[in-house]
Amino acid sequence: MRSDDTLGIADLGLLYRTHHSWLQGWLSRRVGCRENAADLAQDTFVRLLKSRQSTHLREPRAYLSSIARGLMIDQYRRRELERAYLESVQLLPEQHVPSAESRLLILDALERIDRMLDKLKPRVRQAFLFAQLDGLTCAQIAENLGVSRATVERDLAQALQHCYRLRYVEA
């Protein structure tokens, strides 16, 4: 590795040559599909390349498997969202089923919302979902969660700030 502890292109190339096949095998045993494992291994190195942050790689396999594990979780969540979406679309009359292009946009939005919700504290997330999905008032949410109305209002404000950032800052 370079003396300033940043991961350079040459270092990444060496890391790739040294550990790629190991990582692909490690992933293959976990996901049960060689093609999926190959994609995840490649995505692991792409994520590492994009990060370009200073890092100490005393344990490169632990570091690579940590990145790959996160990618596996992301992939699993994406597939679960898509499965739930497809199940809900099956209930629609054929003329209301979104086009393939709309489907991709909807799934992308759902994935971004899911990531945003995952970043919220559990109580904040639950208050937000009560308000948005169940249409409960602050007083009803407070009663359900066993907290004050002011706490619910703060929680909802925090969740809405996350929504704002998702829509206008990260877009």
* Residue 54 dihedral angles phi and psi, to the nearest 5°: -65, 135
CATH number of 34's domain: 1.10.1740
**Secondary structure letter of residue 94 according to DSSP:** G
Is the same domain home to 78 and 47? Answer: yes
* Confidence (pLDDT) at 139: 96
Q: Is residue 155 part of a domain?
A: yes
Is the same domain home to 6 and 83? Answer: yes
Q: Is residue 106 part of a domain?
A: no
Is the same domain home to 48 and 125? Answer: no
Q: Which residue range is the domain that position 19 belongs to?
A: 1-98
**Residue closest to 77 by CA, chosen among 41, 114, 126:** 114
pLDDT tens for each residue of the chain, 171 residues long: 444 445 667 777 888 999 999 999 999 999 999 999 999 999 999 988 887 654 557 888 998 999 999 999 988 888 888 898 889 888 999 889 899 899 889 888 888 888 888 889 999 999 999 999 999 999 999 999 999 999 999 999 999 998 888 778 765
Is the same domain home to 92 and 30? Answer: yes
Q: Is residue 83 part of a domain?
A: yes
* Confidence (pLDDT) at 55: 58
Cβ–Cβ under 8 Å, residues 142 and 148:
yes
Cβ–Cβ under 8 Å, residues 89 and 61:
no
Q: Is residue 110 part of a domain?
A: no
Q: In this structure, how many other beta carbons lie within 10 angstroms of the beta carbon of residue 155?
A: 25
Q: Is residue 108 part of a domain?
A: no
CATH number of 160's domain: 1.10.10
* Confidence (pLDDT) at 21: 94
Is the same domain home to 71 and 17? Answer: yes
Q: What does the block give as tokens for 120?
A: 């919220």
pTM: 0.64
**Domains: count for the chain:** 2
Is the same domain home to 93 and 124? Answer: no
Is the same domain home to 69 and 139? Answer: no
Q: Is residue 49 part of a domain?
A: yes
Is the same domain home to 7 and 54? Answer: yes
* Confidence (pLDDT) at 56: 59
